[in-house]
Structure 1
Amino acid sequence: MNIVKKNPLNKLLMKNMELSLLASGDGTEVILHKLYAGARWAMAPADDWTALEHLTVMSGRLLMTSSAGEVVLGRGDSVNACPVKEHMIFTAETEVEFLYVTSQPQFHFYSNSVKDMMDLAIRVEEKDGYTSNHCDRIKELSMKLGKVMGMDSDELYIMNLAGFLHDVGKVKVPDEILKKPGKLTNEEYDIIKMHTVWGREILTETNNPDLIKAGEIVEQHHERFDGKGYPHQLNGGGIRTEAAIITVVDAFDAMTTDRVYRKGMTHDEAFEELARNKGTMFHPDVIDAFFSILKES
């Protein structure tokens, strides 16, 4: 019998989640997850991955979204697949603890890759002068819009990644340009615009299939419905819906956030600006979905 006391070397504390490797052996791992209310976690298919994956809820309520719809899991409920064939997204409705068992080891790769991506997003927020919750706000509101617009669990999973990492390319923009309080020169603005391309490159270089897909959305999140955006001047239906969603959410958050060089707008002022640019800068269907959420809240 092995008696396991929590080992700080095997525990990872992140912004909305804690992971603890409780046991491992013969390729099998038992990982305790603690999700704070509102946090998300997912099971996702992967090439050359044939593991049994099993989840049992220990406490709290966990909303599972899959191709079959949504179901709330409570204490004692479990989910398993061998292998996972579709994205399953789990959202903590309350603080949740669950045991995750996998027949192929992945804890260190999994925890380190998640931590690396979170650290990168935080670096972008700090570099760009945003509050530490900017990436989370973009991710959360993008997911709400995606659900309203009928996206399936696979699409929502990728957009969750893209929303959180939408500005990752800004780590390559020089500080003196990114934080310049005055008007940018044309040359400086051209450098700023490269952050969408650099973001896709950074995510592609991970060789993670899901991050590569997210990178395609990241590259398009400054395209405009009328074709006057960047980097490729795409228009209308040529722009991924996920990217069009992030465009609206990111614009709203940017307008209402205080920056070092200006005070943020009120929500009402930002709503007026979004409505004024419906069909030009912003996809009209996304604006309609955005306002439908506001009416419900």
Structure 2
Amino acid sequence: MSTFRAWRVHENDGRIEGGIESLPLPAPEEGEVVIRAEWSGINYKDALGATGRGKILRRLPLTAGIDVAGTVEESRHPDWQPGQRVLVNGCGLGENHDGGFAEYVCVPGHWVVALPEGLSTREAMILGTAGFTAALALTRMETLGQTPEQGPVVVTGASGGVGNFAVQCLNRAGYTVHAVSGKPEAAEWLQGLGASEVSTPETLALGSRPLEKARWAGAIDAVGGELLAGVCRHVGLYGNVAAIGLAGGAELHTTVMPHILRGVSLLGISSANCPQALRRQVWARLGDDLRPSRLDEVVDRVLPLDRLAGGFDDLLERRVRGRILVEL
């Protein structure tokens, strides 16, 4: 075989368009690794970039997909040998470097992470950047002293890709979890994933004063905007708030009161730019103490390459609960 299939995104007459193309098999340069891809997954960022609704892809044409897992096919990097099971997420994959919606992916060897013990390539991509981001948020919170004994942690956007994994990771680590979702029909599902309470943003009844009664010991927020500002007002002494999304808006209108009077830390979580040592640590935890116990239950659907367009649209229109897997 001299070619492989990839979901390639172009700009034509000012419009962003994507589809399957045949490309020549990659020849790795010094320090690079070729991965025979097995699984990927559609993230919100992928859907924005592949449809042109967000400026995610920094050059065109480009193969989309910020996650991939598979087997090393060829290596010119000393750390990796053919046959090893590996994954890549973030690092510019699917943004400024050809990404994971392809049968073969060529990447710098220092981006590659060994597949954690306890995970198959399929399970790693059920998690993908969504699960990695949730586990990274909790790891950073715990670095600053977050413990289950402090009290419950609230998760906003809990029925989304990152949010449902945040619920599961917190539950596995022994935390009491309060989930917030704009989809009331997801309440029973979220309770099954480990949430002790489930609210909608409307029933959460957040106060509007600069500092409100402490209700949670910390938060993982996938929404941003007014909801993030409101949650911060209700976090207790030396709690941590991990900000991972902006579905509710990119602006944050708040005061410094929670941070200077209660010592609340607001942590930005950047999965794409995570240092590799920390990236490997977080992936190891996802195969061990933070491994969700109900991975298959968060799979909304499995798509082949030629049906990605429908997955992009459904994700952006909030017609997805959990993860869309891509079988390569």
TM-score normalized with structure 2 length: 0.26
Higher relative contact order (CA 8 A, sep 6+): 2
More strand by proportion, 1 or 2? 2
TM-score by length of 1: 0.28
